[in-house]
């Protein structure tokens, strides 16, 4: 294995002066035509401002960490995420990548321990930071959409749904304070799947009737988890409870119809299906956006709110034109 396979780059500007990162930081160098990684700062030491200034003076924009230390680095970055988002030295693509990696890391922890109030608190801070990035960067939409994962895992799907849903909601003109509660609900919309047997969740073949009945329970199981967690707004539960409801009344768990479904539930339904179709599964290739929308329009007719679905198509079209 090439030595470089053991390391990964991190953006220098995500490292704050006079802080302890928690993992070793390396500089990449070339020695006799070979890549070498030289220890620059021990993970237990404070990285002083003069060391960062020295790197900046030499036009060094990236440091490197051991790949096995990625979780430590992401926990460090998470603590200063809002500062990173507001740092004009970091371009929007790099900000989007950092936010997305931190988001997936948080959701991995959430799905491993869904009842932890600490992880929920982290997730809510993430939503606030993501909204900040979306609001303050006019080019955020395209940058973020371009880094969404095309591989389907429950935790990455949850992140995709939250981010895409927030971008769409901003396009709809939903107010800032509402974006927070909506984003939280979108991020946790599938948390009930943590209570479903993994062999059902990961099954490659079509589910039988008994298995499908079981997996449908994730909606109420998720709502039950969140109602026991402090500081979750009741409005955040609409995307959780209603993301499988259909406007024609053929959804679950309550077969709600039309305006009986909350606007946030309708948004969650559209984004949930779209992301599922456009990400790669073990049993199905990812669909292209046009194909996914075509399936949603023709094969799922009546499932979605017509006005919102039309606006979603326009939203995606606006993104692709930039």
User: Which CATH superfamily groups domain 80-320?
Assistant: Hypothetical protein af1432 (1.10.3210.10)
The average pLDDT across 286-312 equals 95
Place of tokens 């079509």: 206
For residue 285, what is the DSSP state? P
| Residue % of the chain over a pLDDT of 90 | 74
* Domain ranges, ordered by start, for the chain: 1-68, 80-320
pTM of the shown model: 0.89
Among left, alpha and beta (phi > 0; psi -120 to 50; other), residue 162 is: alpha
Contact 151, 164 (CB under 8 A): no
Contact 154, 190 (CB under 8 A): yes
Say how many residues make up the chain: 322
Q: What is the pLDDT of residues 205-260, one digit of tens each?
A: 889 999 999 999 999 999 999 999 888 999 999 999 999 999 999 999 999 999 99
pLDDT beyond 60 at 82 = yes
**Average pLDDT score, the chain:** 91
pLDDT, residue 143, reads 80
The residues that are catalytic are 193
State how far the alpha carbon of 311 is from the alpha carbons of 103, 215, 247, in Å: 26, 30, 16
Q: What is the pLDDT of residues 32-80, one digit of tens each?
A: 888 899 999 999 999 999 999 999 999 999 999 999 999 999 999 999 9
pLDDT beyond 70 at 282 = no
Q: What is the pLDDT of residues 255-274, one digit of tens each?
A: 999 999 999 999 999 999 99
């Amino acid at each position: 294995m090439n030595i470089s396979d053991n390391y990964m780059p991190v953006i220098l500007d995500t490292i704050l002066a006079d802080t302890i990162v928690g993992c070793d930081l390396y500089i990449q160098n070339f020695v006799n035509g070979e890549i070498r990684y030289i220890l620059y700062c021990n993970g237990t030491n404070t990285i002083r401002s003069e060391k960062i200034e020295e790197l900046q003076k030499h036009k060094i924009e990236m440091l490197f960490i051991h790949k096995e230390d990625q979780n430590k680095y992401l926990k460090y970055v998470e603590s200063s995420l809002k500062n990173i988002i507001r740092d004009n030295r970091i371009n929007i693509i790099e900000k989007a990548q950092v936010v997305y990696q931190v988001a997936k890391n948080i959701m991995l922890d959430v799905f491993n321990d869904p009842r932890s109030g600490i992880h929920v608190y982290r997730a809510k801070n993430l939503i606030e930071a993501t909204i900040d990035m979306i609001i303050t960067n006019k080019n955020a939409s395209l940058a973020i959409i371009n880094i969404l994962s095309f591989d389907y895992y429950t935790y990455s799907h949850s992140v995709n749904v939250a981010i895409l849903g927030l971008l769409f909601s901003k396009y709809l003109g939903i107010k800032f304070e509402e974006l927070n509660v909506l984003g939280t609900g979108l991020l946790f919309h599938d948390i009930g799947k943590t209570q479903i047997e993994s062999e059902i969740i990961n099954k490659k073949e079509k589910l039988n009737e008994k298995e499908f009945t079981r997996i449908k329970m994730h909606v109420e199981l998720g709502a039950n988890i969140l109602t026991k967690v402090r500081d979750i707004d009741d409005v955040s539960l609409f995307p959780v409870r209603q993301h499988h409801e259909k406007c024609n009344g053929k959804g679950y768990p309550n077969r709600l119809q039309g305006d009986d479904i909350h606007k946030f539930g309708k948004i969650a339904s559209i984004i949930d299906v779209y992301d599922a179709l456009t990400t790669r599964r073990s049993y199905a290739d990812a669909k292209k956006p046009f194909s996914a929308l075509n399936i949603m329009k023709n094969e799922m007719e009546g499932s979605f709110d017509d006005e919102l679905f039309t606006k979603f198509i326009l939203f995606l079209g606006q993104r692709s034109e930039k």
